[in-house]
Amino acid sequence: MLLSKMFVPTLREDPSDAESISHKLMLRAGLIRQISSGIYVFLPLGFRVLNKVINIVREEMNRIGAQELLMPALLPKEPWDETGRWDVYGDELFKLKDRKGRDFCLGPTHEEIVTLIIKNTVNSYKNLPILLYQIQTKFRDEIRPRFGVMRSREFLMKDLYSFHDSWDSLSESYKKIFNAYKKIFDRFRLKYIPVEADSGAIGGKVSHEFVAESEIGECEFVVCEKCRYAANVEAAKSKLIKPEEEKDEPLELVHTPNIKRVEEVTSFLKVPAHRLLKSILYIVDGESVLAIVRGDDEINEVKLKNYLKAKEIRLATEEEIEKHTGAPLGFTGPIGFNGRIIVDKRVEGIKGGVLGANKKDYHYKGVSFGRDFESEEIVDIREVKEGDLCPVCGSPLKKKIGIELGHTFQLGTKYSESMKAYFQTKEGELKPFIMGCYGIGMARIIAATIEQYHDDKGIVWTKEIAPYHIIIIPLKEDEKILVDSKEIYKKLLHGGFEVVYEDRPLSPGEKFKDADLIGFPYKLIFGKGYLKDGLIEVKRREDGEVFKVKPEDIEEFLRKEIYES
């Protein structure tokens, strides 16, 4: 296509509201525009890239025998009531009413709907397993949309659902889908890592996230470079190190005037941070719950929330702390606390500890777990830290961040049971379907590719999803240049290449700037050199290498470069 006829509104300057490199470059290269917070238009170039992403994902899903369908985005409330998720999903669910006052939502995911379809159509083990997927728009009312298309309120997803008659069958499909995901992200040439994940609100047992390595991103995970153990922080475990043998000390109430924060208390009482036990009051579905970790640890609220199987969890306000403990913020502790107490595993067995006394300006010291306070709920609620030891091999763990590209879950019977979706077994029994669900965020693949493939000039597209592979740039208003470059352009078009011709009245510098910003993998340059030796200068974007190619060899050269390497 002629660039002058194309709708490619590039920007010279970085947009001020874009935080991440991919967001900036997608705006600058004319791939997307924002319509409202977290809502984007894919402009023609961006839409070409998106379609290439869709095609690759679709190919690999079809290859493993998954079948594509299309479910609606506008969903009735009733199935969501059956699973309880109409309430559990919270404010992220876009809810609306029709003219008759009936409740609907804009689907953020489709477990309920696909379960409904299977419930009404499949009744025998003979029809299982079934793998159904769609590539469709999802909605989520994000509190804070971020990083452009990476965390937006409307987004395109591939979501696959599988239905089985046994856990073995689910495991088998899970493995197959897991491998298909690896193949997909390999085809995109992304650097990624599958990490063990927490199945959180969706429920279920085994779960993985596929995370693209990146400077930005909202997935925090740990990885062991020795044995490749990897897990996101909500699921990560670490090897429990036994505390040194400590001696019982007498319990003592000590005056700690206006001393509240961890560092203040530890330096005032001259105890190491791990001896101070942090007691944090949460309001969990309306009830007060005290959670205790060591002073050198942090609570991971997702772990706590999952353990409690809570719908909503939040820190108690200062007023609520006074009401439930009798003391202001900073002096909370379990001794004398009347309510549920959750203790982190690393707190168990501690002696000579320090705790808030539930009394203004007082702490206890010499606290022994088991003697002075107790809890039957000793669970892993701490956040794994850099340097913690790998639960598998004991090597130090590294903490990283990245972009979640996809997620796979073994759901089990959570949805089929609550929606009474049963099938008949070989023996004639009625059993709930065993399910799995598997998502991939389409636009995130684009954003992650740009995060991993760019330089200071712009995007460096991989051949797999570049909007076009080739741009022809005539540098001079010279007749031979114009005639010959047009001829090559026509020849490449006929040869089936994805090629763009730069015919805009711009300076050579401006032409190069835009070509590099948009990130065409190959530039065919017709300038002084061509007039001298009749060779086309081909510049490869990914490494800047320059090739001189005879016009009659150009097709073969490009075919090898683009399709055979």
172 vs 221: CA distance, rounded Å: 26
Parallel, antiparallel or unpaired: strands 340-344 and 377-379: parallel
Q: How far is the CB of 346 from Zn ion (least distance, A)?
A: 19
Single out the segment in contact with Zn ion by CB under 5 A; choices: 75-83, 204-212, 369-377, 395-403: 395-403
Residue 390 in the binding site for Zn ion (CB under 5 A): yes
157 vs 177: CA distance, rounded Å: 16
Residue 433 in the binding site for Zn ion (CB under 5 A): no
Residue 227 in the binding site for Zn ion (CB under 5 A): yes
Q: How far is the CB of 228 from Zn ion (least distance, A)?
A: 7
Q: How far is the CB of 226 from Zn ion (least distance, A)?
A: 5
Single out the segment in contact with Zn ion by CB under 5 A; choices: 86-94, 223-231, 447-455, 459-467: 223-231
Q: What are phi and psi of 171, to 5 degrees?
A: -60, -40
148 vs 448: CA distance, rounded Å: 12
Q: How far is the CB of 347 from Zn ion (least distance, A)?
A: 25
Single out the segment in contact with Zn ion by CB under 5 A; choices: 216-224, 422-430, 463-471, 500-508: 216-224
Single out the segment in contact with Zn ion by CB under 5 A; choices: 65-73, 140-148, 388-396, 406-414: 388-396
- Under DSSP, the state recorded for 146 is B
Relative orientation angle of helices 21-28 and 442-452, to the nearest 10 degrees: 100
- Under DSSP, the state recorded for 457 is T
Write the Ramachandran bin of 350: left for phi over 0, alpha for psi from -120 to 50, otherwise beta: beta
- Under DSSP, the state recorded for 486 is H
Residues 308-337 that bind Zn ion (CB under 5 A): none
Tokens (6 digits) for 345: 């595993």
Which of 135, 224, 411, 421 is the binder for Zn ion (CB under 5 A)?
A: 224
Single out the segment in contact with Zn ion by CB under 5 A; choices: 3-11, 67-75, 393-401, 511-519: 393-401
85 vs 94: CA distance, rounded Å: 13
Q: How far is the CB of 398 from Zn ion (least distance, A)?
A: 11
Size of the site for Zn ion (CB under 5 A): 8
Residue 40 in the binding site for Zn ion (CB under 5 A): no
Write the Ramachandran bin of 248: left for phi over 0, alpha for psi from -120 to 50, otherwise beta: beta
Q: How far is the CB of 405 from Zn ion (least distance, A)?
A: 23
Q: How far is the CB of 225 from Zn ion (least distance, A)?
A: 8
Give the 3-state secondary structure of 271-302.
CCHHHEEEEEEEEECCEEEEEEEECCCCECHH
Single out the segment in contact with Zn ion by CB under 5 A; choices: 226-234, 264-272, 314-322, 498-506: 226-234
- State which residue, 224 or 405, has the beta carbon closest to Zn ion: 224
Single out the segment in contact with Zn ion by CB under 5 A; choices: 64-72, 149-157, 309-317, 387-395: 387-395
Residue 53 in the binding site for Zn ion (CB under 5 A): no
476 vs 485: CA distance, rounded Å: 11
Other Cβ atoms within 10 Å of 258 Cβ, number: 8
Q: How far is the CB of 224 from Zn ion (least distance, A)?
A: 3
DSSP per-residue string spanning 341-403: EEEEGGGTT--SEEEE-SSTTEEEEEE-BTTTB--SEEE--BPP-TTPBPTTT-PBPEEEEEE
Residue 430 in the binding site for Zn ion (CB under 5 A): no
- State which residue, 10 or 395, has the beta carbon closest to Zn ion: 395
Q: How far is the CB of 560 from Zn ion (least distance, A)?
A: 42
What lies within 8 Å, CB to CB, of 332 at 6+ separation is: 279, 280, 281, 290, 321, 325, 356, 358
- Residues 193/213, Cβ–Cβ less than 8 Å: yes
Which of 41, 253, 392, 546 is the binder for Zn ion (CB under 5 A)?
A: 392
Q: How far is the CB of 223 from Zn ion (least distance, A)?
A: 9
Which of 229, 282, 468, 520 is the binder for Zn ion (CB under 5 A)?
A: 229
Q: How far is the CB of 117 from Zn ion (least distance, A)?
A: 42
- State which residue, 208 or 539, has the beta carbon closest to Zn ion: 208
Q: To which residue do tokens 């046994």 refer?
A: 166
CA dihedral (98, 101, 106, 111) positive or negative: negative
Q: How far is the CB of 240 from Zn ion (least distance, A)?
A: 15
Q: To which residue do tokens 């009659």 refer?
A: 552
Single out the segment in contact with Zn ion by CB under 5 A; choices: 62-70, 205-213, 280-288, 384-392: 384-392
- State which residue, 226 or 560, has the beta carbon closest to Zn ion: 226
Q: Which of 419, 381, 447 is nearest to 190 (CA)?
A: 447
Residue 393 in the binding site for Zn ion (CB under 5 A): yes
Residues that bind Zn ion (CB under 5 A): 224, 226-227, 229, 390, 392-393, 395
